[in-house]
Structure 1
Amino acid sequence: MVVEHDEFISGLLKKLKSDDTDDLQDPFQMVDNIEKWPIHNQNQPWRQKKPIVGERKDESSFQVVSMWNDHNCSRKFRFGSLVTYKWIGRQFRNKIRANPSIKLVEISDLVMKKYKCIVTPTQCRAAKNYALAEFQRSIEEHYGMLRSYADELLASNPGSTINIGVTRNPDGKSYFDRMYICLKGLKEGWKRGCRKVIALDGCFMKSPAIGELLTAIGRDGNNHIYPIGFIEVVKYMLPYAEHRQCARHIYEGFRKRYSGVLFRSMFWSASKASYPQLFEKVMKDIKSTDPRAYDYLMDKNPKSWSRAFFKLNRACDRVENGFSECFNSVILSVRNKPIITMFETIRSIIMEMQDVMRRLCLRWKTDISPSIQNRIEWAKDQQRFWKPFHAGGSHWEVRQLYEAFKVNVDEKTCSCRMWGLSGIPCPHACAVIFKINKRPEDYVPGWFRR
């Protein structure tokens, strides 16, 4: 371009010095003639791209000089060498890896629906093998980097403990590392009675990348999910934790044999009964309705699914573990990825969730979490039906018609057990607290506060 520019300027100067200037051309007019053609926009989405006559690509490409918009020929759905098995495998690898048993006809349908082209069963078989082989190589690479990944976790998360064990497959063809992420101090915390992580809802998640992923879901102070990542630490921690069964899972088995609105109502009344006498009353009604239903529920160990037998001072009165399903739905799209990619994606999800919760905390009207404040407001409203009587010291008796409960404001207990189960003052406690001119919010424990 420099040489051409010099030659053009030299010729222009010669013509300007001479008298013959008729053959001079305006260089700006030349540029204007070139710029009148449309220029191809490479940033435009491919679905919106349409060929335009005269459109220029770039110096190394081509220009559209003619085009026929109307065609009478039939539509062609086979594209020969343009659609290869590798291209199919790359385009649909995620669906193939998520479902390794996918049928060839299903892959063919996917290609037709998305790209409107016909592929053969042979192409689909080769594409499936290619996608799975690439995935297997990716898995092997990830397992090979596990120790480096563990070192980076230790460097960026002081106080953590990571153990990596190696187990040979029975066929002896490959190795798989099992990664155990332990929370240091968790065992000691439970021994000391620090039970702020009050509910551990566990589940197994199958994954072609690691076999099974065991997750445990806790509840934070606002009754939102708080994922806890651990595997090896289970055997150290669970002996100090209370074992509960999910009442919803118990009911799913129960309703297959004893369906109907009556049985459903009685089951949930028994599950949510907060003290043994109420539980026994409901179970007596079930027994009178159908003794076999009574025997079925008693065989399921009611101490693990009814509030009437839960331990106190755990600050959790929940009888079901739907939080696990909530967390499952969050990681559903990532659990079939290679192990390090899966770990990092889950870590990013949790980190983002915690950041959202921190920012939400700044908008709280008080230092008590909103969901807990709503429960307190309900208890404050229901206290009007109960009348407190002072029994001396910090002991009170609260009555409504033929019912009566004992309340101790110093020990923060009520014989209905709801105060001890949830950590939140019940209506009976609120009646006493108002009687002594205090606020129920003053009796909310610290782990429900900002």
Structure 2
Amino acid sequence: MALIHVPNPPLGVDLDAEAEDRDEFHIDKMATDFTEAEESIRHNVYPENDDEDEEHVHIGAARRGTAIMHGDGSMYKGQSFYNGIAFKECVLDYALVYGCNLKQYMYDRDRIGFKCVGAKGKCMWKVYAASLHNESMWRITLYTNRHICVPNGECEMFKTPVIARLFLDKIREEHEYYMPLKMEQTIMEKWKISVTRDQCQAARRKALAWIELEYDTQFERLRDYGAEILEANEGSVVEVDTVKNEAGQDVFKRFYVCYDVLRRTWKKSCRPLIGVDGCFLKEKIKGQLLVALGRDVDNAIYPIAWCVVQVENTDNWSWFVNRLKIDLELGDGDGYIMVSDRQKGLIKAVELELPKIEHRKCVRHIYGNLKKNHPNKMRLKKLLWDLAWCYNSKDYEESLERIHAYDSKLYEDVMKTKPKIWCRAFDKIGNYCEDVENNSVESFNNTINKAREKPFVAMLECVRRLAMVRIAKRSAISHSHEGICTPYVKRFLAEEHKATSLCFVHPSTNGAYEVYLGYDKHIVNLNDRTCTCMKFQICRIPCEHAGRRITRRGLFHTIGLALEVKVHPPPRPDDEKVDKKRKKGVHESPTKKKPKEKKRIMHCGICGAADHNCRYHQKKKNKKNTTQGGTQVESTQGCLTQEK
């Protein structure tokens, strides 16, 4: 496979399967808002084994530059190692744990020995390992574990290469901040070993040289990195574009990657909007990272694809847009939206590759440019954004008039930007994306600011992991969400509800209504989901005018069953006589109506018997009182009376 060469010293990332992840520190920082810290997995620790007699093999870094996994420093005769470097690391672990003054005295190709030079060289501790001819492993053949010295903070084993290897990962991650003073303090605080500032400075330079050499070698294998992506992510697209130089070597030109899971999910569940922008790389390969981001159903950032080019021009933008067109199946762009700063090269590329796409201009960039020319216009920001947020041509014209009244020169500069290509009032209906700025891409570029300081492939891996973490976090939120509306829609409706209560509704036919808000009148049609303010059509979320009618309609729905029973007016007096008779008493005759030939039967109010009334009993009582004296009880036809 042909190697890739660049004019400047190239960069890259280690592709060795044993290489440790160098970027976790920065990934955790960049993904703080999207994920919580988890306990790291210890990969190089063997599980407990029931076979106690199994030979122990020390697992260490087998080559220069690999992260050192510090152990407890235990050694014994017969202990095996994969190679001489692993044996040296084991001895280094011993020195770090016990603080002994160890020194290497045997440097042969297949034999290495260390001894303790404490107590003025009289200490008896010694260890010796060799690569035996009949074995492929290294083995300790001599080990005298006896010290007569006392640790005093000195260790001749701590030469420049050893210090460089100890701090290799830290220097790789924080090469701008991890200085010799910090290295010297760390060695003393952590291992109680004294080193000089010059030693740390030399160790730092050596570590940086190793890192640069490592990245140079890794960048040459950029095609291998692309092959690894395709193998691990089936269906993804990776393209490494190179050009031949005079020597016939492949010189890097640009790199593109689009992961299959991002592509499929965007097409399936995200809004038909693509925001594109570029940001500068900060390492030795000076170029630009071009990113394409979408919006999910909650209007949050969704990474789609990214590429690295040498310069932002028409050719590179055309290449990037063409790749997006093919991978996302955009066709001629009809039904999709692109938001950008409308750089000249990008405008030509979009017109060529996606002639029917709706290409919106980012208002944030427009405001920045106008602010440079009109730095003292304090109302510029409000006036410009009010213009961009207009939903209909009437509000658009009124906003322009306010700008003209404020400053005629500012009005002329605004008109030069062609406001109809960045005002909501002139957006195509049907995509339901109300964005007028490219803030999502700007935010993403700021998030990966640390990644852009890394070498080439390390930077690409950092961006990939950040995208993965963000999507995983959003997925967890979406699966735990309850309700019929997304959080974004809830916030939208909450803002609309503030004005909804002030609206007055007058119904019409065919689902249409007149809605008044102050002196403004709008026509709402719930069947067609439209409103003359145009917000309902552009956002596909009910505006304050439609929201008022929907709220009242929901109230009627709750009493709909009662309203289904028809209620008729009472009969007119000419049609039916009104019964004005009083209600009968408790003891009145139950007979309601009798034939005319029969007389009404009288009933007593005391005993309830027929053919007499209460006066009959009064007469009987008076008659008795006149003929007899005293008190008596008389029963007359079942009536009981008490007389005195």
TM interval, short-chain normalised: 0.5 to 0.7
SS in 2 for 1:244: strand
1:234 aligned partner: 321
Q: 1:166 aligns with which of 242, 246, 258?
A: 242
Q: How does 1:86-235 map to 2 (within 5 A)?
A: 87=164, 90=168, 92-95=171-174, 110-115=179-184, 117-119=196-198, 130-141=210-221, 143-146=222-225, 148-149=227-228, 151-152=230-231, 156-158=233-235, 160-168=236-244, 174-176=250-252, 178-181=254-257, 196-207=270-281, 208=283, 211-229=287-305, 232=319, 234-235=321-322
Using a 3 Å threshold, how does the CA distance of structure 1 residues 114 and 405 change in structure 2: closer, same or farther? farther
Give the superposed CA RMSD. 4.5
Using a 3 Å threshold, how does the CA distance of structure 1 residues 226 and 63 change in structure 2: closer, same or farther? farther
CA distance in 1 between counterparts of 2:249 and 2:299 reads: 46
Per-residue Cα deviation, 1:347-399 (whole angstroms, up to 9, x for no partner): 33333322222222233231421221222233234211112223421332211
- The Cα shift of 1:248 comes to 1.8
1:446 aligned partner: none
1:248 aligned partner: 364
Question: Is 1:268 paired with 2:352?
Answer: no
Is the Cα–Cα contact under 8 Å of residues 263 and 304 in structure 2 kept in the other structure?
A: no
1:82 aligned partner: 159
- The Cα shift of 1:152 comes to 1.1
Using a 3 Å threshold, how does the CA distance of structure 1 residues 399 and 62 change in structure 2: closer, same or farther? farther
- The Cα shift of 1:86 comes to 9.2
CA distance in 1 between counterparts of 2:247 and 2:204 reads: 29
CA distance in 1 between counterparts of 2:163 and 2:152 reads: 33
Is the Cα–Cα contact under 8 Å of residues 57 and 63 in structure 1 kept in the other structure?
A: no
Per-residue Cα deviation, 1:109-135 (whole angstroms, up to 9, x for no partner): 822344355349998777655543332
Per-residue Cα deviation, 1:224-262 (whole angstroms, up to 9, x for no partner): 110111565623345243212221222122223323432
CA distance in 2 between counterparts of 1:254 and 1:227 reads: 30
- The Cα shift of 1:428 comes to 0.8
Using a 3 Å threshold, how does the CA distance of structure 1 residues 60 and 202 change in structure 2: closer, same or farther? farther
State TM-score, norm by structure 1. 0.68
- The Cα shift of 1:194 comes to 8.9
Larger relative strand fraction: 2
CA distance in 2 between counterparts of 1:234 and 1:138 reads: 28
- The Cα shift of 1:319 comes to 2.2
Per-residue Cα deviation, 1:427-448 (whole angstroms, up to 9, x for no partner): 1111122343389xxxxxxxxx
State TM-score, norm by structure 2. 0.49
Identity of aligned residues (%): 22
Is the Cα–Cα contact under 8 Å of residues 432 and 538 in structure 2 kept in the other structure?
A: yes
Per-residue Cα deviation, 1:183-221 (whole angstroms, up to 9, x for no partner): 88999999xx99953432222133346833211111111
Is the Cα–Cα contact under 8 Å of residues 407 and 429 in structure 1 kept in the other structure?
A: yes
Using a 3 Å threshold, how does the CA distance of structure 1 residues 60 and 242 change in structure 2: closer, same or farther? farther
Unaligned residue ranges in structure 2 (runs of 5+): 1-70, 75-92, 101-124, 128-142, 186-195, 308-318, 331-349, 557-644
Q: How does 1:340-379 map to 2 (within 5 A)?
A: 340-379=457-496
Is the Cα–Cα contact under 8 Å of residues 139 and 338 in structure 1 kept in the other structure?
A: no
One-letter amino acid of the structure 2 residue matched with residue 215 of structure 1: V
Using a 3 Å threshold, how does the CA distance of structure 1 residues 336 and 85 change in structure 2: closer, same or farther? farther
Question: Is 1:297 paired with 2:383?
Answer: no
CA distance in 2 between counterparts of 1:290 and 1:93 reads: 54
- The Cα shift of 1:406 comes to 2.2
Is the Cα–Cα contact under 8 Å of residues 422 and 436 in structure 2 kept in the other structure?
A: yes
Q: 2:511 aligns with which of 375, 394, 398?
A: 394
**How many equivalent residue pairs?**
373
- The Cα shift of 1:270 comes to 1.4
